[in-house]
């Protein structure tokens, strides 16, 4: 019999129960034991769903009140000393302090203890809390939660597979907090604690432990690769069966290593690395369990079960009961259940499979492999859905394919090289040196949100909603005029979200009612789903922008979201390359840029904050990604005359390794985040001799603190030291939508003053 299991399950609950309980607890409305009761109930419900779907184990240890890496920081006894815990605080209170920091006491001069840093979990939009390591870091088996959850599941009568983040991935994902030391050196201290954990689990009666080492899919330094064999030789001593789990990325040079480690089974991601399945099946000794991730844990599409079975039948014949089936990775990254999507039409719903549905797919595959006739009906249903998706005109629009195929070869090139465009634009706009601008959004006030909500509920009609938004736009324009900014924006009041706003107006997108996935802590996002060919039927931003331009003589900058960011923050169709979908979105943006140009808008910004996070996990794959990603941007940006100025914006500035590609995007102006790094990150642009204009952020918009003119002057001087004055813009780090008006006005006033002072120094 084939064993079926899942690497992990969403924690939030079908209706985001955990989110709401957490937030109530943080507001002091419910006590820790009430929160714990919510957690316990969710786990019980989720395990039951796994059993109901016929899984051979329930997975225990994937639950977290904030983040699974943070769970391990407590489990392994390495809470950073800087939090100064006395040992008397309850574990959960300490846990939330690690996650959320200690607020500064009123009047205290100390900064409090900032939370652990948060960063993206591999190439997902889930953020984990980063462990901190110093040479003094020690480890101990310091938390009981995992064992208590195992007991819970056992008491409910479930067969249990526990899950742990492996020791090497845990160290890798952390950060060295002092110089001259390597966190890998901590491995020897860490392994005995893992050994003790495994022994405890074994004593509880757990047979299988899934030990996640996703870093086996990364380009690892030799020392890290070499550490695996001795580490796992150590863990083998615990006497519990280990399933080593890898995911997200091909194993490549680590494939042989993964197959020969002294564990009892190996899970591989058959969706991200289908080309490696045959090699793994060859290399992995036949007595070891081979867990194949054949159901996509990163995306929302129903599995083509026939195709999966074609692959599995041969393997099943050879390996028999040692073949296991699972989603490719934890189901943490997909929404809960399609059954909750009552707003989508039947056809679309039929194409989707969320976490609960994916468990069912595993059961059908298992039944089919066993020749169980119970598989017939669901297989037929899946087949029909796959065929309907393939044949649907909603998915395949011949006009879109036609247009892409017939693009002229130079469609992704501006008409003239940058120097010519720069002089045409200088003539047209006559901007002062060091022109000032902002990144696009102005404060999204409670009134704006209330108006939008009322409009969505049908309580505010379209005309009144328009009036309300125009009032906001007029206010934003008046403020910018009064401040003396040089290039204005309309403020994005009408936008809920920079991707959703465009997706709602484009063909090929749909939106779920309840398709939440955890982003960090209690925060969830509901990504759009791109199911079909993308096209634009009418202008999306022109009216608002033209209205804003009508209020001022200063240039009004149009504001669009770029194709890669849209792709990156959505669930994307899996029936064509991502590059094709990106190009389709790019053409829709290109049409919008042209319409703005025709309407007299001379400057258009195409935001691409997500271009870097789309980088593949393997460096070898970067070049290909960057080639199509930058082409998509250029397709969007190149349909305009020389004197139309294209800006782009990215909310970070670690560009060192991708500067040639950033330059190849050929935006006339790029604005980036640099203030938090004190302009240090700008040096790469200077050394590279970045050819086009650049606006390094001179103040951090992530806090309400108002920076002084002197601070910004200092940053501007640092920028002037590396960037030619004629190419330098002055702007904040990012959009201002999370800020309030008073601090926004004060900060921008100081920014304009800093720019003017610098101009005078340059002139005199
Ligand atoms: N134009 C957007 C804004 O100002 C850009 C947001 C972003 O960079 N993430 O909000
Ligand atoms: Zn930004």
CATH code of residue 576: 3.20.20.210
DSSP SS3 for 331: helix
- Whether 222 is in a domain gets the answer yes
* C-alpha of residue 651 to centroid of ligand 1, in Å: 8
- Backbone phi, psi, residue 240, to 5°: -110, 150
The secondary structure element, H or E, covering residue 536 is: strand 529-536
Q: What is the mean pLDDT of each run of 10 residues along the chain (764 residues)?
A: 97 98 98 98 98 98 98 98 92 96 58 84 96 98 98 98 98 96 98 98 97 98 98 95 98 98 98 98 97 98 98 95 97 97 96 98 98 98 97 96 97 98 98 98 96 95 97 98 98 96 98 97 97 98 98 98 98 98 98 98 97 95 98 98 98 86 97 89 91 96 92 96 96 96 97 97 82
402, part of any domain: no
Q: Which domain holds residue 513?
A: 418-762
CB 519 within 8 A of CB 126: yes
Cα separation, 248 vs 129, whole angstroms: 19
Q: Are residue 293 and residue 345 in the same domain, yes or no?
A: yes
Which residue from 194, 196, 200, 192 is spatially nearest to 213, judged by alpha carbons?
194
pLDDT score of 105: 54
Residue 399 covered by a domain: no
**Residue 499 and residue 382 in one domain:** no
Contact criterion met (CB below 8 Å) for 21 and 35: yes
Using alpha carbons, list the distances in angstroms from residue 623 to 563, 648, 653, 660, 691.
18, 21, 19, 11, 21
Q: Whose CA is nearest to atom 4 of ligand 1?
A: 735
CB 554 within 8 A of CB 488: yes
Structure letter (DSSP) for residue 637: H
User: CB–CB of 58/51 below 8 Å?
Assistant: yes
Q: What is the DSSP string of 354-389?
A: -HHHHHHHHHHHHHHHTT-GGGHHHHHHHHHHHHHH
Ligand nearest to the CA of 652: 2
Give the CA dihedral 354, 359, 363, 365, nearest 10 degrees: 50
Q: What are phi and psi of 115, to 5 degrees?
A: -60, 165
Q: CA–CA distance from 75 to each of 20, 317, 462 (Å)?
A: 25, 41, 54
Assigned token pair, 51: 């059993």
Quick check: 489 and 557 in contact, CB under 8 A? yes
Strands 669-672, 645-650: pairing is parallel
Which residues sit with their C-beta closer than 6 Å to ligand 1? Answer: 439-441, 492, 498, 559, 607, 609, 649, 651, 734-735, 737
Whether 15 is in a domain gets the answer yes
Q: In terms of domains, do 461 and 343 share one?
A: no
What is the spatial distance between Cα 593 and Cα 397, in angstroms, rounded to a whole number?
Answer: 22
Query: What is the rounded CA–CA span in Å between residue 462 and residue 126?
Result: 36
Same domain, 608 and 728: yes
**Distance, CA of 578 to CA of 428 (rounded, Å):** 38
Give the separation between CA 48 and CA 58, rounded to whole angstroms. 8
Nearest CA to ligand 1 atom 5: 735
Angstrom CA distances, 334 to 6, 57, 320, 353, stand at 13, 20, 30, 9
- Bridge pairing between strands 127-129 and 118-120: antiparallel
Q: What is the DSSP letter of 303?
A: P
Instruction: Ligand 1 pocket test: pick from 498, 500, 561, 566 the residue with the most ligand atoms within 8 Å of its Cβ.
Output: 498
| Separation between Cα atoms, residue 273 and residue 745, nearest integer Å | 51
Distance CA(381)–CA(387), nearest Å, equals 10
Instruction: Pick the atom of ligand 1 nearest to 440's CA.
Output: 4
Kindly give the number of the ligand 1 atom that is closest to the alpha carbon of 565.
9
Q: Tell me the C-alpha distance between 163 and 171, whole Å.
A: 17
CA 153 to chain centre: 31
For ligand 1, mutation pick of 494, 541, 556, 734 (most atoms within 8 Å of CB)? 734
Whether residue 126 sits in one domain with residue 16: yes
CB 437 within 8 A of CB 658: no
Alpha-carbon gap, residue 685 to 135, rounded angstroms: 34
Q: Which ligand is nearest to the CA of 498?
A: 1
The CA-atom distances, in angstroms, between 17 and each of 38, 48, 129, 149, 524 are 8, 17, 22, 19, 12
The distance from CA 641 to its chain's CA centroid, rounded to whole angstroms, is 34
405 found inside a domain: no
What's the domain count of the chain? 2
Measured at the alpha carbon of residue 392, what is the angle toward residues 388 and 396, in degrees to the nearest 5?
A: 140
* Residue pair 153/160 in contact by the 8 Å Cβ criterion: yes
Residue 303 lies in a domain: yes
Interior/surface letters 283-306, b for 16+ CB within 10 angstroms, e for the rest:
ebeeebbbbbbbbbbbbbbbbbbe
Beta bridge partners of 176: 133
Distance CA 118, CA 127 (A): 6
**Ligand 2 centroid to residue 154 C-alpha, Å:** 47
Residue 184 to residues 167, 189, 328, Cα–Cα distance (Å): 10, 10, 28
Instruction: Give me the long-range contacts of 218-223 (CB less than 8 A, separation at least 24).
Output: 218/172, 218/249, 218/617, 218/618, 219/618, 219/619, 219/620, 220/254, 223/182, 223/184
Question: Is the full-model pTM beyond 0.75?
Answer: yes
Same domain, 424 and 355: no
Same domain, 598 and 732: yes
Distance 593 CA to ligand 1 centre (A): 17
Distance of alpha carbon 473 from alpha carbon 493, whole angstroms: 7
Q: Which residues contact 644 (CB under 8 A, 6 or more apart)?
A: 425, 593, 597, 602, 603, 604
Q: How far is the CA of 607 from the centre of ligand 2 (A)?
A: 8
In sequence order, what are the beta bridge partners of 650? 672
d(CA 395, CA 643): 37
**Measured distance CA(290)–CA(311) in Å, rounded:** 14
How far apart are the two ends of the chain, measured CA to CA in Å?
83
CA distances from 70 to 329, 330, 503, 610, 703 (A): 19, 17, 34, 25, 25
How far apart are alpha carbons 508 and 504 in whole angstroms?
9
Q: What three-state secondary structure class fits 292?
A: strand
Query: In this structure, are 677 and 586 located in the same domain?
Result: yes
Model pLDDT, residue 109: 45
What are the CB-based long-range contacts (under 8 Å, 24+) for 112-115? 113/82, 113/83, 113/84
How would you classify the pairing of strands 175-176 and 241-245? unpaired
Ligand 1 atom, smallest distance to 561 CA: 1
- Could you say which of 264, 475, 683, 702 is catalytic? 702
Same domain, 385 and 422: no
Choose among 175, 189, 165: nearest CA to 82: 175
Question: Are residues 92 and 233 both part of a single domain?
Answer: yes
Chain centroid to CA 160: 30
> DSSP assignment, residue 131?
P
Give the ligand 1 atom nearest the CA of 609: 8
d(Cα 159, Cα 148) in Å, to the nearest integer?
15
Q: Is residue 498 part of a domain?
A: yes
Are residue 374 and residue 308 in the same domain, yes or no?
A: yes
Residue bearing tokens 């703005």: 596
Q: Whose CA is nearest to atom 6 of ligand 1?
A: 735
Count of alpha carbons within 13 angstroms of residue 286, beta-carbon side: 7
Of 488, 541, 607, 671, which is best to mutate to test ligand 1, by the most ligand atoms within 8 angstroms of its C-beta?
607
Q: Is 323 among the domain residues?
A: yes
Residue 396 tokens read as 């395949």
Tell me, yes or no, if 267 is annotated catalytic: no
Looking from the CA of 41 toward its CB, the CA atoms found within 13 Å total: 12
Residue pair 77/52 in contact (Cβ under 8 Å)? The answer is no
- Nearest-10 crossing angle of helices 709-722, 741-763: 50
Ligand 1 centroid–CA 488 distance in Å is: 14
Q: How many angstroms from the chain centroid is the CA of residue 104?
A: 30
**Whether residues 120 and 184 fall in one domain:** yes
**Residue 619: CA atoms inside 13 Å, Cβ hemisphere, count?**
5
Among candidate residues 549, 475, 486, 533, the one with its CA nearest the CA of residue 756: 486
Task: Find the 727 Cα to ligand 2 centroid distance in Å.
Answer: 20
Count of helices and strands (H, E) across the chain: 27, 22
Q: CA torsion sign, 59 to 63 to 68 to 70? A: negative
């Amino acid at each position: 019999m084939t064993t079926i299991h899942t690497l992990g399950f969403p924690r939030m609950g079908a209706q985001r129960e955990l989110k709401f309980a957490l937030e109530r607890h943080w507001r002091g409305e419910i006590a820790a034991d009430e929160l714990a009761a919510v957690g316990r109930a969710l786990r019980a419900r989720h395990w039951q769903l796994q059993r109901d779907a016929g899984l051979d184990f329930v997975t225990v240890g994937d639950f977290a009140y904030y983040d699974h890496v943070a769970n391990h920081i407590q489990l392994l006894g390495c809470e950073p000393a800087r939090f100064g815990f006395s040992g008397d605080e309850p574990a959960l209170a300490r846990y939330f302090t690690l996650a959320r920091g200690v607020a500064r006491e009123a009047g205290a001069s100390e900064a409090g203890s900032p939370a652990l840093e948060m960063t993206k979990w591999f190439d997902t939009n889930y953020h984990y809390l980063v462990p901190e390591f110093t040479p003094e870091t020690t480890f101990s088996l310091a938390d009981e939660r995992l064992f208590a959850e195992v007991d819970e599941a056992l008491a409910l009568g479930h067969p249990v597979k526990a899950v742990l983040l492996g020791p090497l991935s845990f160290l890798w994902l952390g950060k060295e907090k002092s110089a001259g030391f390597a966190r890998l050196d901590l491995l020897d201290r860490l392994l005995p604690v893992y050994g003790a954990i495994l022994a405890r689990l074994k004593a509880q009666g757990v047979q299988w432990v899934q030990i996640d080492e996703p870093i086996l899919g990364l380009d690892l330094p030799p020392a890290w690769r070499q550490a695996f064999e001795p580490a796992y030789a150590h863990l083998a001593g615990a006497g519990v069966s280990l399933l080593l789990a890898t995911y997200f990325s091909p194993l490549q040079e680590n494939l042989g290593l993964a197959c020969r480690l002294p564990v009892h089974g190996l899970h591989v991601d058959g969706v991200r690395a289908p080309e490696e399945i045959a090699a793994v099946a060859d290399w992995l000794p036949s007595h070891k369990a081979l867990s194949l991730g054949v159901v996509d844990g990163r995306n929302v599409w129903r599995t083509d079960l026939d195709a999966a079975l074609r692959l599995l039948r041969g393997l099943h014949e050879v390996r028999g009961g040692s073949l296991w089936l699972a989603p490719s990775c934890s189901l943490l990254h997909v929404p809960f259940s399609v059954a909750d999507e009552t707003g989508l039409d039947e056809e679309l719903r039929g194409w989707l499979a969320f976490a609960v549905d994916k468990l069912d797919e595993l059961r059908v595959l298992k039944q089919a492999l066993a020749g169980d006739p119970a598989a017939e009906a669901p297989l037929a249903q899946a087949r029909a859905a796959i065929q309907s998706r393939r044949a649907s005109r909603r998915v395949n629009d011949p006009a879109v394919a036609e247009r892409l195929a017939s693009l002229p070869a130079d469609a992704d090139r501006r008409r003239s090289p940058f120097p010519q465009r720069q002089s045409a634009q200088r003539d047209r706009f006559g901007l002062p040196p060091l022109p000032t601008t902002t990144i696009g959004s102005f404060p999204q006030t409670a009134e704006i949100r209330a108006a939008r909500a009322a409009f969505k509920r049908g309580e505010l009609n379209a005309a009144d909603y328009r009036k309300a938004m125009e009032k906001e736009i007029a206010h934003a324009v008046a403020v910018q005029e009064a401040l003396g900014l040089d290039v204005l924006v309309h403020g994005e009041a009408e936008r809920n979200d920079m991707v959703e706003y465009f997706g709602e107006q484009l063909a090929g997108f749909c939106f779920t009612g309840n398709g939440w996935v955890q982003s960090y802590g209690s925060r969830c996002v509901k990504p759009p789903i791109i199911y079909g060919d993308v096209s634009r039927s009418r202008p999306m931003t022109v009216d608002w922008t033209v209205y804003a331009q009508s209020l001022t003589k200063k240039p009004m900058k149009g504001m669009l979201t770029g194709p890669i960011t849209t792709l990156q923050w959505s669930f994307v169709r899996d029936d064509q390359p991502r590059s094709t979908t990106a190009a389709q979105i790019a053409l829709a943006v290109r049409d919008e840029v042209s319409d703005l140009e025709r309407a007299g808008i001379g400057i258009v910004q195409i935001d691409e904050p997500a271009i870097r996070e789309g980088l593949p996990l393997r460096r070898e794959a970067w070049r290909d990604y960057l080639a199509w990603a930058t082409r998509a941007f250029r397709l969007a940006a190149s349909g305009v005359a020389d004197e139309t100025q294209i800006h782009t914006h990215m909310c970070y500035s670690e560009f060192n390794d991708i500067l040639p590609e950033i330059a190849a995007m050929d935006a006339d102006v790029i604005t980036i985040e640099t203030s938090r790094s004190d302009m240090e990150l700008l040096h790469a642009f200077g050394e590279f001799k970045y050819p086009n204009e650049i606006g390094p952020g001179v103040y951090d918009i992530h806090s309400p603190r108002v920076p002084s003119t002197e601070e910004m002057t200092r940053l501007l001087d640092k920028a002037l030291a590396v960037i030619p004055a004629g190419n330098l813009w002055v702007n904040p780090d990012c959009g201002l939508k999370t800020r309030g008006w008073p601090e926004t006005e004060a900060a921008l006033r100081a920014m304009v003053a800093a720019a003017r002072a610098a101009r005078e120094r340059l002139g005199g």
